[in-house]
Amino acid sequence: MDYIGEHSLISFLGRASVALSFAGAVATVFFYSLYFFRSKNKKTNDHRGIKSAGRLSFAFHSIGVFGTIAILFTALFNHWFEFDYVWRHSSLEMPMKYIASCFWEGQEGSFLLWTTWHVILGWVLVGTAKKWEFGTLMLLAMVQVFLTSMLLGIYIGDLKIGSSPFILIRELPENIGLPWTELRDYLIRLPSLRNGQGLNPLLQNYWMVIHPPTLFLGFASVTIPFLFALTGILEKKYYEWVIPALPWTFFGISILGTGVLMGGAWAYEALSFGGFWAWDPVENSSLVPWLTLVAAGHLMMIVKHKKSAPATALFLTILSFLLVLYSTFLTRSGILGETSVHAFVDLGLNGQLIAFLGFFSIGSIFIYLFHWKKYPKSPSEEAFSSREFWMFIGSMTLLISAAQITFSTSIPVLNKFIGPEGLLPILGNSMAPPADAAKHFNSLQIPLALVITSLLAIGPFLRWKETPSALFKRILPSFIITILISALCVWGLKLYNPLYAALLFVSIFGVFSNADYWIRIVRGRWTSSGMALAHLGFSMVLIGALISNGKKEAISTNATYIHEDFPSNENILLPLNDTVSMYPYYVSWRNERTEGHNRVFDVDFYETKESSTWNDFKRPELKPSFTLNPFIQINDRMGNVREPSTKHFWNRDVYTYISYADLRPLNEKNGDWSDPMEAVLESGEEVFLFNEYLLYCDTLNVQNASINQNSGEIEHLDLELELILKSMNGDETDLTLPYHLDGNEAHTSEVELEEKGLKFRFDGVATAEGKFNITAWEKNNGDPPFVLLQAFIFPYINLLWLGSILMGIGTLLAVWKRVYRAINENRK
Amino acid sequence: MKKTQIVLLLVIAIMIGALLVTLEDASVYATFEIAEKQKPETVTVVAKVDLNNPIKFDPKTTLLTFKAIDKDGESRSVVYNQPKPMDFERSEEITLTGHSTDINFVATEILMKCPSKYTDDEGLDTTGIYSINS
């Protein structure tokens, strides 16, 4: 049957592209793997045939992937809402600039994004990997087989393989066989298909346009060193693999690190948990591969410089990729459910995700262990004063840090195994994540950060093999400066927690020693600046995170004493148009308005004139300082979201959000009546009202009814609903609410109980049979409208952002250094 | 024994230590009854807001009091010294972190699960099919 206006051809083309990319990936694996079978049998150097066939298959795979993207974008761009993906993730009202966010809001789109980066990086490998091409592309194509299969959307028996972004709404399992799917013109007839559900407003933020592609490029670049490591094992090139793998590793460190921090920037700007990092499982699971990749990169440098045992470097490189897969599994399988604030959609692909994770974990660990005996051992022992020894210690510390974060994040997975309903029920009750996540992670991660940061401060001055004793003379200047500066900081910031003070000390040392190294030893030569800049940036990120979090100050304190169980509250009550003291500012809530999805609150901040003192009984003279506009996003899909507004100064941020507000329009809040309360009742039921009353629904009386003899429709109807209002003291008041239907027009009137200060309205019969809709209001007690505000000062948070930029640039320079050398060697 | 081997052993020892500390820090999913037995230990209770009892929020003290029903059907009054979360009444399920006292459950954190948040699956509304007179 031809459906009117439906783009069935496009849907077919889309699925054909996915099928092409899948088939292309399978063919690539086939042709490139021929090399391994042929090279074992006979010594032939001519692999040109299989190379061309492999490249051609990869080209078909790429055409499929890019075709898929193009078709999905076309459908999104043209608002073809017969596509389930388009209907679910976009709408007519959504600004076009966020179309990219719609693309990767769903799981299918984000898998596609990841696949695409693999394709692009794969072509770079084709161009640069030379003799490594066979192994790396074969393995990459295996990853692609799994990734593209997630988009197939086919059923083999009852087994669902993948979820296609091109499935039409009428083809969804829940709709198959419904009468409307048989209508040729269903697109015209179904009003709900004229517009989609729209993009989650929370993601309509510019960070969400750039954060996902950056993060997935980071994930994709963790794959490449893994490909080299495994190819190195398979081809017995236990040392050589690090040369091509190193620039990719630093590229991954740079991009993945930036991507993770961008996620933090989004959280800081769009979410109101009060900070950029919450140790949320989703954040953790993308941080962990970064930590192991950094460790792997350092171990690779040891292998490269010292020809030492490659076993640990191989292990960590493989582990980093497996952790990316594990992170994908955690965030997409819905297993984190109750423990994370992030929203997940379970697409029913868990079996496939486990197969993906299982295939590569078991496969690569088997290959790694199978060749265990053949890995070269270190020719000599590392000296205590050598750079490699301390680099090794640092990498191991990073591994411990990654392992600890993984343990804590995996608690829901652990429950599946040993929880009360798990495979091996050891625990009586399911484990829950630590109650105070920040305290838990800080207590374990700060000691590890201390070790890592002191090593990256001293490390650059150490020499390979052995360091002459002149080392101490060389780091002495920066050490002395550090003691002075950090003493000043600890005193100035009153940062007396010993663990925090120690971390501040080593981080400042990291900044100064690396700056010193950059100026005196590298002398600012760009190609060699990578290490110093990256280390400096990392130390600065730590300083920024430490000061801004450790000295985060809630200025919106509420002094009301409630109970010894409760600490003083961090919410300040702002009545409309009143000016309230919130040291060091005075604040005033002046107005609110509606902008798109958002209810925006204008909060003015005032400073006191310098001449007036705070302690005067007279009100000090005020001068306007700045205005902040925190808002509440009215979000039907995820519930309303409180979004912060922040004033950035060079040395601090003033961060605010509305923690509670009555969402009625201002004029209504100012009016005589309270927030309406809606109740749905049937005869004999009762409901609580305004904490004081019970409203009992007695009977419904039909007074007059006349039916049109011709059409059978109701022409005229008078209803009276009888209710009894019961007070806490036992009083009962009878109440009769009228409802009057005239043709299609309903007339209701509000009934006021003056002595109680209440009024009621009968809104008709609810869709559920026999239930009545009632709205009730309470008289306002004369208090002006108010909001509750939370305000924090984050001191020196800009150091964090500056540090992340430096770290990103530093690691990219480390990539450039190696690419530059490779180009120069080629010329020779 | 080589230095690197000693380091690797140490790494494994520290990892086991970190695992034990993590298990020590982990709280448990409990019911109100377990929470009372283990008071004043902090636990996590998955419960539902009882909409048949008053939900009181006093903005001046930012004190929220309500009744919650856990998975065993036990009902307890809960106090929460933070502003009332958005759409609190609409929540399908709430995750309470806190401890029991003699009279009530003191929540320090409330995570809400909204009906549409995780499944996102309202499906297509086909109640309004237009009848076209032909």
Distance CA B10, CA A451 (A): 14
Tell whether B130 is within 8 A of chain A (Cβ).
yes
Query: Nearest-CA residue of chain B relative to A188?
Result: B130
Could you report the per-residue pLDDT of A39-58, keeping only the tens digit for each?
A: 666 556 677 888 899 999 99
pLDDT of residue A337: 65
pLDDT of residue A488: 93
Distance CA A228, CA A318 (A): 10
User: Which chain B residues touch A638 with a CB distance below 8 Å?
Assistant: 114, 116-117
User: Which chain A residues touch B2 with a CB distance below 8 Å?
Assistant: 378, 381
Left if phi > 0, otherwise alpha if psi is -120 to 50, otherwise beta: which for B87? left
Q: How many domains does chain B have?
A: 1
DSSP string of A462-510, one letter each residue: SPSS---TTHHHHHHHHHHHHHHHHHHHHHHHT---HHHHHHHHHHHHH
pLDDT greater than 80 at residue A754: no
Could you report the per-residue pLDDT of A115-142, keeping only the tens digit for each?
A: 999 999 999 999 998 889 999 999 999 9
pTM of the model: 0.87
Range of the domain at B63: 27-113
Distances (CA, A) of A812 to A371, A459, A561, A631, A816: 33, 20, 53, 38, 6
pLDDT of residue A769: 64
Could you report the per-residue pLDDT of A235-265, keeping only the tens digit for each?
A: 999 999 999 999 999 999 999 999 999 999 9
Q: Are A432 and B44 within 8 A, CB to CB?
A: yes
- Coil/strand/helix, residue A545: helix
Joined together, the tokens standing for residue A474 give: 């060389």
Nearest CB among A169, A444, A571 relative to B21 is that of A444
pLDDT of residue A317: 97
Tell me, yes or no, whether B129 lies in a domain: no
Q: Which residue has the higher pLDDT, A277 or A158?
A: A277
Tell me, yes or no, whether B57 lies in a domain: yes
Q: Are A192 and B28 within 8 A, CB to CB?
A: no
User: Which chain A residues touch B53 with a CB distance below 8 Å?
Assistant: 688
Distance CA A280, CA A263 (A): 12
What is the signed CA dihedral for A444, A449, A455, A460, rounded to 10 degrees?
Answer: 160
What is the H or E stretch that residue A705 is in?
strand A693-707
Query: Nearest-CA residue of chain B relative to A435?
Result: B27
Tell me, yes or no, whether B50 lies in a domain: yes
What is the H or E stretch that residue A693 is in?
strand A693-707
User: Which chain A residues touch B35 with a CB distance below 8 Å?
Assistant: none
What are the helix and strand counts (H, E) for chain A?
Answer: 20, 23
Distance from CA of A189 to the nearest CA of B (A): 5
Tell me, yes or no, whether B34 lies in a domain: yes
The one-letter code for the residue type at A735 is L
Tell me, yes or no, whether B91 lies in a domain: yes
Compute CA A725 distance to the chain's CA centroid, rounded to the nearest angstrom. Answer: 49
User: Which chain B residues touch A192 with a CB distance below 8 Å?
Assistant: 124-126, 128
pLDDT of residue B134: 30
pLDDT of residue B121: 43
Per-residue confidence at A559, pLDDT binned at 50, 70, 90?
low
Q: Which residue, A504, A577, A495, A507, is CA-closest to A535? A: A507
pLDDT of residue A560: 57
Query: What does the DSSP 8-state code read for residue A521?
Result: I
Tell me, yes or no, whether B106 lies in a domain: yes
Q: Are A788 and B62 within 8 A, CB to CB?
A: yes
| B115 CB-near residues (< 8 Å, 6+ apart) | B90, B92
Per-residue confidence at A346, pLDDT binned at 50, 70, 90?
low
Query: What ipTM is given for this predicted complex?
Result: 0.85
- Coil/strand/helix, residue A770: coil
What is the CATH number for B71? 2.40.50.140
- Coil/strand/helix, residue A712: coil
Distance from CA of A179 to the nearest CA of B (A): 10
DSSP string of A179-192, one letter each residue: GGGG-TTHHHH-GG
Angle (CA) A398-A399-A401 rounded to 5° is 65
Beta pairing, strands B105-113 & B75-80? parallel
Q: Are B124 and A193 within 8 A, CB to CB?
A: yes
Joined together, the tokens standing for residue A558 give: 């509420």
pLDDT of residue B116: 45
Domain boundaries, given as residue ranges, for chain A: 1-199, 205-381, 672-778
Tell me, yes or no, whether B11 lies in a domain: no
Distance CA A74, CA A68 (A): 10
pLDDT of residue A122: 97
Q: Which residue, A542, A525, A526, is CA-closest to A456? A: A542
pLDDT greater than 50 at residue A513: yes
Could you report the per-residue pLDDT of B32-91, keeping only the tens digit for each?
A: 888 888 878 888 888 988 887 778 888 777 888 999 998 888 889 999 988 888 778 777
Range with the poorest average pLDDT among A106-120, A402-416, A431-445, A708-722 = A708-722
pLDDT greater than 50 at residue B133: no
